[in-house]
Chains A and B, each alone.
Chain A
C-alpha cells in the first residue's frame, strides 16, 4: 500500500503506540497491563507500519530478527528465575531490591519485572515473525 497519508500518519502513530506499549508493560504490576498486552499493542503498531512501508522497512527498523527477539524473550524470562536459587527459594520466586522493600526507593525493580519483559519480547517476537512471514509470502 503506497499511501502518503498512511505513511505520514504511521510515522507519528508508531512512536506513540510503542511509547504506550512500554507504558502498559511497566505499569502492569499495579494497574491493568503487563508484558502480554504491551507486546500485542506494539505488534498492532508494527502491523500498521508494515502496511504503510512494507516488510523490508519493518525488518530494517527492528534491526534484530523477530525470531531472535522471541527466543531472547524466553531466555530472559528463564534467567529472571535464576537469582531466586541463590536465596534458597524455588525457581522463579520474585525478588525486589532491598531499597524498594524498605520504602527508601519508589522504583519497583524486581526479577518479576524482568520476567514480564521476557514475556513481552517473546510474544512480540512471535507475532511479528508470523506477521512478517505471512506478509512476505503473500
Chain B
C-alpha cells in the first residue's frame, strides 16, 4: 500500500516535471518572440529615417587583420526584409510555443529557430561581403537542422541533407563570387560596392555566374527547385518561416542587393528572365499535381520566387516595384497559409485535401484566417494581393522586349495560383452538407496557434484597404534602394482603383479562369498528373544521379587507397611525397647543394652516430621477430635524440627520447599480441622489391631536400626576435617553452585539444574492437 502510494507520487512528480519542461518550451519561445517583436519595433522606429533615404549604419571590428568587419547597413531593401523577418518571426515563435509545447525537441528547435532568425537578420543587414557570406552559411546550416527536426525518420534526414547539399553547393559558388566581387571592387564594403557599376569589369561574367548560382540554389529556382518541396519534411511553423517568408528569399535579396552593381546587362536580364519565368510557370503547374496541402503551398511559393526573380531581371522602376510589392504580399499570405496547414494537420492528423472537407464548420477561426490569406493570394480586392497582382500585370504589359511573353506567363501562373486559393476555400473549408471527417475526431487547437497569426492575415486586408499607409512606403523604399534613386516620373501609386485598364481586365479574366479551374479542380489535378507522368523524369533525378556518381567515385578511390594493408598506405604516402617533391625540383633550376668542405669537416663521432642509425635501420628491415624490429626502431629514434642534443636542442631531444620510449612500449604491447609473424605477411618478392625502391628513392629525395635547405642561408629574423623578447616580454629563458606557452599559446591550446581528441578516438577504437569481439564470442 505504501509502495503503491509512493509510486503514484513518483508518477505525479514526473508528470509535474514534464509540465514544467513543456512550459519551459513555452517560456523560451515566448521570450524569443518578445525579442523578435522588440527588434521589429526598433526597426519601425527607424522607418521614417530610412524611407527618407538615410540608411542606418552600425560598425564593429571583428577580424581587422582580414578586413572583416561586423558592419551593418539598413536601407530600404534591408528594412523590408528585416521587418518581415522580425515581424513574421515573432508571430511564428508565438505559434511555435504552442506547436512544440509537447515536443521533446521543443527547446532544441527553439534554439535553432532563433539562431536562424538572427543569422537571417544578419544576412539582410550585413555591410561586409564576408560577413554576409558567414550569415548566408549560417542560415544554410541552421535550416539543415530545422528541416531534419524529425531526425528519427530517415526520409526527413535525407531531405535535410539534400537541402544542405544543394544550398551548400550554391554557398560555395557564392563565396567564390563574393571574393571575386570584393577583389574587383577593391573593397568588401557592400554599401560602397552597390554604388559601383561592375558590368564592364573583365571578371563580370564570372562574378555574375557565381553569385547567381548561389542565389538560384538558395531561392530554389529551376533547375534547383526540387529541394524546396522536399524541405517540407520540416514541421509547419518552420516551413512557414524558412521556406516561405525568409530563407528562400535570401537569394532574391542578394539579387536585389547587387542589382545596381551587376544588373542591367543582357546576361543578367536573360538569365533571370528565363530561369524566373520557367520556375514560375513550371511550379504552378506542378502544384496542381499535389494532394498534400503543404506541398501545394510549397509549389506556389516556388511560383512566387520565380516571379520575383523574373521581375528583378529588368531595371525598369515599374517591374522592380512590382517585384518588391509581390514579395511583401506573398510573405504575408503564405506564412499564414502554412500556419493554417499546420493547424489542419494538428487537428485532423492529415494534410491530404482529398480527405478533408467542410473544415469551416469545425474550425471557424482557422477558416477565417485561411479565407483572408487565400483571398489575398487569389488577388481579390480589397486585399493587398489585388494591388500586388495589378502591379505585376501593369509592369508585365510594359516589360521591355518581352511584354507579351511575360504577360502570358504571369497570366498562367496567377490563374493557377488563384485557382489553388479558391480551391482551398471551396473544397477544404466551405461547410458542405456531408463532411468527410467526423467532428469528434478533431483535436483541440491551443489558443496560441489560433490568434497571433491572424494578425498576418488581417494585415493583408488592412494594407490593401490603406495601401498608401504601410505597403507603399515599404515597397517603394526597397525599390528605391535597388534603383539607386527615385525615378524621374515617380512610382505607380498603390491604389485599389486605377480605372478601367488592361491590367484590370486581365485581373478579371484571371478570376474567371481561376474560379472555373477551382470548380473542376479534381479533374484538372488528375489531368496534370497524367500529363506529367509522360514527361521524362525531372531535375531531382539528375541530383540523385550526381550523388550516386560521387558515391561510386568515392567507393572506387577508397577501394584503391584504403585497402586495409598498412604497407600499401605507407607506400602511397611516400610515393606521393616523391612525386610532388621531384616535380618541384624538376621545375626549379639546378643549383649546387653542398660543398665537400662541409662534409669533410664533420667530426668522426658524428659519423659514428650516423653508422648506428644505419645499423638500426638494417636490423629493423631484416629482423624476423617483431620485438627485435621494434627495439631497433627505438634505437634509431634514440640516436636521433642524441643528435638533437648535440646540436643545441635539448628540449627536442628530451621529447624525442620520451616519445621513443613510449612508442616502443605501446608498440610492443600491441605487436606482441598480434598473430605470429610469418613469411606471408611480407608479401611477394616483387612487392618487397617495389617497397625497397620506393623507400630508397624517398630517402634520396629527403636527403637532397635537407642538403638544399641547409645550403641556403638561414633566415634568422624569427630566431632573433624570440631571442630578444623571450626574457624581456615573457620572463622565460627557454625559448622553446616560451614560444609554446606564451608567444604561440593559441596554437598549443589547439594542439592539446587535438591530442585529447586523438586520445578519445583511440580509446573508442580500442573499446569498439573489444565489444565487437565480445559480440562474436
Contacts and interface: CB of A to CB of B under 8 A. Distances in A.
A91 interface: yes
Contact of A116 (B666, B741, B759, B769): B741
Contacts of A36: 655, 740
Contacts of B762: 129-130, 133
B95 to A, nearest CB: 40
A111 B749 CA distance: 14
A22 interface: no
Nearest to B752: A122
A125 B738 CA distance: 23
A96 B670 CA distance: 45
Contacts of B752: 73-74, 77, 118-119, 122-123
B748 A44 contact: no
Interface stretch (B322-330, B586-594, B657-665): B657-665
B753 interface: yes
A92 B736 CA distance: 17
A31 B766 CA distance: 38
Given A32-B651, A92-B746, A70 B737 contact: no
Interface stretch (B183-191, B630-638, B726-734): B726-734
A96 to B, nearest CB: 6
Contacts of B673: 138
Contacts of B745: 81, 92, 94, 112, 115
B731 A108 contact: yes
B657 to A, nearest CB: 9
A108 B730 CA distance: 11
Which secondary structure characterizes the binding site on chain A? helix
A85 to B, nearest CB: 14
B662 A40 contact: yes
B597 to A, nearest CB: 32
A64 to B, nearest CB: 15
A101 B729 CA distance: 11
Nearest to A122: B752
Given A28-B734, A67-B763, A112-B730, A131 B755 contact: no
Given A28-B737, A29-B734, A71 B756 contact: yes
A28 B741 CA distance: 10
B742 interface: yes
Chain A CB count within 10 A is highest, among B662, B736, B737, B748, for B737
Contacts of B769: 137
Contact of B658 (A35, A44, A119, A136): A44
A70 B756 contact: yes
- Listed residue (A108, A110, A127, A136) with the most chain B CB atoms within 10 angstroms of its CB: A127
Contacts of B732: 29-30, 112
Given A92-B746, A133-B767, A34 B734 contact: yes
Contacts of B742: 94, 112
A12 interface: no
A115 B669 CA distance: 32
Contact of B654 (A37, A77, A134): A37
Interface in B719-777: 730-734, 736-738, 740-742, 745-746, 748-749, 752-753, 755-756, 758-760, 762-763, 766-767, 769-770
A43 B661 CA distance: 10
A133 B673 CA distance: 14
Contacts of B748: 77, 115, 119
B729 to A, nearest CB: 9
Contacts of A116: 737, 741
Given A96-B731, A134-B670, A122 B737 contact: no
Nearest to A114: B741
B666 A134 contact: yes
A74 B751 CA distance: 10
B264 interface: no
Interface residues of A, number: 51
Given A40-B662, A94-B730, A81 B749 contact: yes
A78 interface: yes
Nearest to A130: B762
Contacts of B731: 29, 94, 96, 100-101, 108, 110
A119 B746 CA distance: 12
A63 B760 CA distance: 19
Contacts of B770: 137
Interface in A90-104: 91-92, 94, 96, 100-101
Nearest to B661: A44
A81 B738 CA distance: 15
A40 B658 CA distance: 6
Interface in B661-701: 661-662, 665-666, 669-670, 672-673
A126 interface: yes
Contacts of B730: 94, 112
A79 B334 CA distance: 49
B705 to A, nearest CB: 27
A47 B767 CA distance: 20
B643 to A, nearest CB: 16
A37 B655 contact: yes
A33 interface: yes
Given A40-B659, A40-B662, A130 B651 contact: no
Contacts of A122: 752, 755-756
A74 B737 contact: no
Contacts of A35: 741
Given A32-B650, A44-B658, A129-B759, A134 B738 contact: no
A34 B740 contact: yes
Contact of B666 (A41, A71, A130): A130
Interface of B: 650-651, 654-655, 658-659, 661-662, 665-666, 669-670, 672-673, 730-734, 736-738, 740-742, 745-746, 748-749, 752-753, 755-756, 758-760, 762-763, 766-767, 769-770
Given A129-B759, A133-B763, 19 more contacts: A30-B734, A31-B733, A32-B654, A34-B736, A34-B740, A35-B741, A44-B658, A44-B662, A74-B753, A81-B745, A92-B745, A94-B742, A94-B745, A112-B741, A115-B745, A126-B755, A129-B760, A130-B666, A138-B673
20 contacts: A24-B654, A33-B651, A34-B734, A34-B737, A41-B658, A47-B665, A67-B763, A92-B749, A96-B731, A112-B732, A116-B737, A126-B755, A127-B662, A130-B766, A133-B766, A134-B666, A134-B766, A137-B769, A137-B770, A138-B672
Interface of A: 24, 28-37, 40-41, 43-44, 47, 67, 70-71, 73-74, 77-78, 81, 91-92, 94, 96, 100-101, 108, 110, 112, 115-116, 118-119, 122-123, 125-127, 129-131, 133-138
